[in-house]
Amino acid sequence: MAAMWSNEARLRRWRDVELAALEGMVVAGIAPQQALEVCRAKAGDFTAEDAAKIDEIEKTTKHDVIAFLTFMEERIGPEARWLHYGMTSSDVLDTSLGLILRDAADLLLAGIERCQKAIETRAFEHRLTPMVGRSHGIHAEPISFGHKLAIWFDELGRAKKRLEAARATIAVGKVSGAVGTFAHLPPSVEAHACKALGLTAAPASSQILQRDRHAEYFTSLALLGSSLEKFAVEIRHLQRTEVREVEEQFTAGQKGSSAMPHKRNPILSENLSGLARLLRGYAVSAMENVPLWHERDISHSSVERMIGPDATVTCDFMLYRFAGLIEGLRVYPKQMLHNLELLGGVVHSQRLLLELARHGMDRQAAYVVVQRNAMRFYEDGTDFKTALLADQELATKMSKAEIEACFSPDYHLRHVDEIFQRVFGRTH
């Protein structure tokens, strides 16, 4: 991903845009075939030395595209006069930016797929591994760890669809001239150039492509990053000493603290949380680029030179890091079961409530019966099941066997296969 944003790669894209446009001019009968052949033959590749020379020219021109064209004229000779004919700088800059953001999206989509594969593998591994569900950070009802991971897989599927849509939105070019009117080149040149580059021609443009396209792209990255942070925060919570249901892989020789040798910290997840903040900031910057003056101003340019490489490289790294985190994640089913039973079975309170209603007790009356027995665990440590079995009012509605039957975690996992079929298209 980083290599895509190198100076040499940038110059290659500019070359490709210029040659594609020149080819369109030849087809339209504007430029001679010989000019295209000479420019193709002599345009060549770009080395770090070439990039440095163009940078040196730019110190005089104070204009990057003019510096590039000056270099190309020196390299190619007189036929280079047909390069950039009837074009403006943004024809090159915006079209080449569309190329790199399109290609960057392809790498990011591959990263999402790796993350989904890792999650799917672990989800099926723990499809029926019971654990306590939590709301407000408080024990709720039993779930399976595989169910939790299935939710993550599904969420990444939406991130993938958003990025695919953003890829289509950004894979657009323009060769429409100084204010987008095709004053010096017909639309057929733009259409030919964009097709040759694998882009779609913008239906209408000013001097630039409209920046709502770019805002959509960077916002999709920010949403993806926010989802990765959501997963990372959950791992951080589950790795807390008091919980310890999962743990980031701790490799041989790794140290957790310079002061405390016992520490095994969730540093990978914490890193993801921090990087997600950057992606959201880049999205805000991209949205602020949308309202430019008239046919354009240049306030967006400096922003995009920063957020383009930073956002794509950061997001790519986050996907790589998260995939590795999931692949190596340590899961502790015994600790999950221990925590599930930590509150003496009160996590089954709703089932008792519903069973009492099914046995003919008014819901609010049933709520009082179940709640007073559940509260005994908090107040004096009395086991929930023990309290229920000793409740004389409850005994008039349910037998001992019926009460005990309400304490099976399997009851809460009986629809896991249906959930997995919805998410993964399979149950095993």
Q: Report CA torsion sign: 136, 142, 144, 147.
A: negative
The answer to whether position 200 is within a domain reads no
Task: Name the DSSP letter for residue 2.
Answer: G
- Residues 298-303: contacts with CB under 8 Å, at least 24 apart: 300/208, 300/211, 301/93
Same domain flag for 409 and 272 = no
Instruction: List, run by run, the mean pLDDT of 10-residue segments along the chain (428 residues).
Output: 96 98 98 97 97 97 97 97 97 98 98 98 98 96 97 98 98 97 97 98 97 98 98 97 94 82 90 98 97 95 96 98 97 97 92 93 93 91 91 91 92 96 96
Determine the 3-state secondary structure of 402 from DSSP.
helix
> Which CATH number covers residue 374?
1.10.40.30
Both structure tokens of 334: 């015994």
Task: State the burial class of residue 279 (Cβ atoms within 10 Å of its Cβ: 0-12, 13-18, 19+).
Answer: buried
Residues 232, 309: Cα–Cα separation, whole Å: 24
> Which CATH number covers residue 101?
1.20.200.10
Instruction: Answer whether 238's CB lies under 8 Å from 230's CB.
Output: no
Q: What is the pLDDT of residues 266-312, one digit of tens each?
A: 999 999 999 999 999 999 999 999 999 999 999 999 999 999 999 99
Per-residue pLDDT, 251: 81
Among residues 350, 371, 326, which one has the least CA distance to residue 115? 326
Q: Which domain holds residue 52?
A: 2-85
Dihedral Cα 166, 171, 172, 173, nearest 10 deg: 140
Among residues 24, 27, 22, 25, which one has the least CA distance to residue 80? 22
The answer to whether position 108 is within a domain reads yes
Measured CA to CA in angstroms, residue 41 lies from 14, 45, 90, 315, 416 at distances of 16, 11, 25, 37, 62
The answer to whether position 195 is within a domain reads no
Per-residue pLDDT, 262: 86
Domain stops at, among 85, 115, 130: 85
Under 8 Å CB-to-CB from 295, ≥6 apart: which residues?
179, 180, 206, 207, 208
The answer to whether position 196 is within a domain reads no
Per-residue pLDDT, 263: 83
The answer to whether position 186 is within a domain reads no
Both structure tokens of 92: 């090159």
Question: Looking at 63, 257, 299, 338, which residue is catalytic?
Answer: 257
Same domain flag for 322 and 252 = yes
Q: Where are the alpha helices (DSSP H) in 62-143?
A: 64-76, 89-125
Per-residue pLDDT, 258: 79
Question: Looking at 84, 90, 136, 206, which residue is catalytic?
Answer: 136
The answer to whether position 181 is within a domain reads no
Same domain flag for 420 and 297 = no
For the question of residue 257 being annotated catalytic, the response is: yes
For the question of residue 136 being annotated catalytic, the response is: yes
Per-residue pLDDT, 253: 82
